[in-house]
C-alpha cells in the first residue's frame, strides 16, 4: 500500500506522473494530453488500417503498408490541415455540381 499511495498521482496525469509534484498540475495535464496523442496509432491515409505511428517530429510511418507521410508534430493532421482539407473538398464538390 505504501508504494501505491506514493504513486497515486499518475492516475490523473498519466505519463506525466514521472514529473511528480513539479511544474504544476496544469502543465502536467497538458503534457499528458500531448503525449497520449503522439503515442496513439492513427488511421493510415494510404491503406486505411489503424497502424500509423510517429517516428520523429512530423514524420509518420504506417506499420502495415510502409507509407511515410509528413504531418503535424503530435498528430498526423493538424487542426489547420483539417480545415484546409474540408475547404478543398467543398470546392471540388461545388465544381463537380456545376459540370
Residue 62 annotated in ligand binding: yes
47 labeled binding residue = yes
Say whether 65 counts as a known binding-site residue: yes
According to the annotation, is 93 in a ligand binding site?
A: no
d(CA 30, CA 4): 24
Burial category of 64 from C-beta neighbours within 10 Å (exposed 0-12, middle 13-18, buried 19 and up) = middle
Are the C-beta atoms of residues 31 and 16 closer than 8 Å to each other? yes
Give yes or no for a contact between 53 and 60, defined as CB atoms under 8 angstroms apart.
yes
Q: Residue 81 phi/psi, 5° resolution?
A: -65, -40
Annotated binding-site ranges:
44, 47, 62, 65
Annotated binding-site ranges for Zn(2+):
44, 47, 62, 65
Amino acid at each position: 500500500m505504501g508504494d501505491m499511495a506514493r504513486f497515486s498521482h499518475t492516475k490523473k496525469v498519466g505519463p506525466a506522473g514521472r514529473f511528480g509534484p513539479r511544474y504544476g498540475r496544469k502543465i502536467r495535464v497538458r503534457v499528458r494530453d500531448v503525449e497520449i496523442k503522439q503515442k496513439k496509432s492513427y488511421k493510415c491515409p494510404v491503406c486505411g488500417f489503424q497502424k500509423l505511428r510517429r517516428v520523429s517530429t512530423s514524420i509518420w510511418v504506417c506499420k502495415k503498408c510502409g507509407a511515410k507521410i509528413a504531418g503535424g508534430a503530435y498528430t498526423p493532421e493538424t487542426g489547420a490541415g483539417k480545415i484546409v482539407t474540408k475547404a478543398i473538398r467543398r470546392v471540388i464538390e461545388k465544381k463537380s455540381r456545376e459540370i
